[in-house]
């Protein structure tokens, strides 16, 4: 077994790593516990953090996607996009070349999920800005956005992948958000900066496939 650690050299991250290694943290809550993913709320040095464990198998284990996510977040923040959480510490436990466990600690963002039309409008503006910076979210469900007490929207549970060769991911972002917001958003308002080519229609089939197979036609007016 091989263990690799990735973290920026600062007091906070060293404290987090030390408490985890010495098993001094307090587990406050279990958010998710599945065979390939676990998410916990921890308290370390009187501060709340989120600990996540992901299992990578097969060819997907060859690349550390969490390290890539950390680099993408740093790149976005360096360009002034600060509506993301921070990855504090990453531990990569390599069992063999095609199987690894990845543990990582992030900020715990306190707040609520977007609910009002105004909230979703703000989320959409952030998504468009993210796309303009050459990245996409990849999982635009309401629970992956947090509205903090001061009204700031923070994106979570995203690897913020680059979208240079993946326009499909960008289209899926907007269509998925429109769907989960109960169709409160006017897509024409946001698609002015996008070129509607065949990938847009592929994204429609992927996001609205259930409606298509169930024979629901009302959604076509909203997405075409």
Q: Can you give the CATH number for the domain in which 179 is found?
A: 1.10.510
Of 65, 82, 107, the domain-final residue = 107
Give the model's pLDDT for residue 216: 59
CB-CB contact of 106 with 144 (8 Å): no
Of 62, 83, 107, the domain-final residue = 107
Q: Are residues 73 and 143 in the same domain?
A: no
Instruction: Name the burial class of residue 168, with classes exposed (0-12), middle (13-18) and buried (19+) by CB atoms within 10 angstroms of its CB.
Output: middle
Q: Give me the domain span that covers residue 192.
A: 117-223
CB count within 10 Å of CB 51 equals 22
Q: Are residues 131 and 186 in the same domain?
A: yes
Whether residue 112 is contained in a domain is answered as no
Q: What is the pTM of this model?
A: 0.82
pLDDT of residue 215 exceeding 70, the answer is no
Average pLDDT over residues 120-147: 91
CA distance 38 to 103: 9
Q: Residue 40 belongs to a domain with what CATH number?
A: 3.30.200.20
CA distance 60 to 183: 34
Q: Are residues 42 and 140 in the same domain?
A: no
User: What's the total number of domains in the chain?
Assistant: 2
Give the model's pLDDT for residue 210: 62
Beta bridge partners of 135: 162
Confidence of residue 49 (pLDDT cuts 50, 70, 90): very high
Q: 150 in helix, strand or coil?
A: coil
Whether residue 96 is contained in a domain is answered as yes
Query: To the nearest whole percent, how much of the chain has pLDDT over 70?
Result: 82
């Amino acid at each position: 077994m091989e263990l690799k650690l990735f973290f920026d050299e600062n007091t906070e991250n060293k404290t987090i790593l030390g408490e985890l290694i010495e098993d001094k943290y307090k587990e406050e809550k279990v958010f998710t516990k599945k065979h390939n993913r676990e998410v916990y709320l921890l308290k370390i040095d009187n501060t709340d953090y989120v600990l996540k464990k992901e299992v990578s198998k097969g060819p997907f284990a060859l690349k550390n996607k969490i390290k890539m996510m950390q680099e993408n977040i740093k790149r976005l923040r360096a360009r002034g996009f600060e509506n993301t959480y921070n990855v504090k510490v990453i531990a990569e436990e390599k069992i063999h070349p095609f199987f690894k466990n990845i543990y990582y600690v992030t900020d715990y963002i306190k707040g609520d999920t977007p609910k009002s039309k105004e909230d979703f409008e703000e989320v959409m503006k952030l998504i468009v800005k993210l796309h303009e910076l050459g990245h996409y979210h990849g999982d635009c469900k309401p629970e992956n956005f947090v509205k903090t007490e001061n009204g700031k929207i923070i994106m979570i549970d995203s690897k913020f992948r680059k979208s240079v060769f993946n326009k499909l991911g960008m289209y899926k972002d907007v269509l998925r958000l429109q769907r989960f917001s109960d169709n409160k958003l006017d897509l024409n308002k946001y698609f002015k900066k996008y070129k509607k080519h065949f990938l847009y229609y592929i994204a429609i089939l992927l996001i609205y496939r259930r409606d298509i197979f169930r024979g629901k036609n009302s959604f076509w007016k909203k997405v075409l």
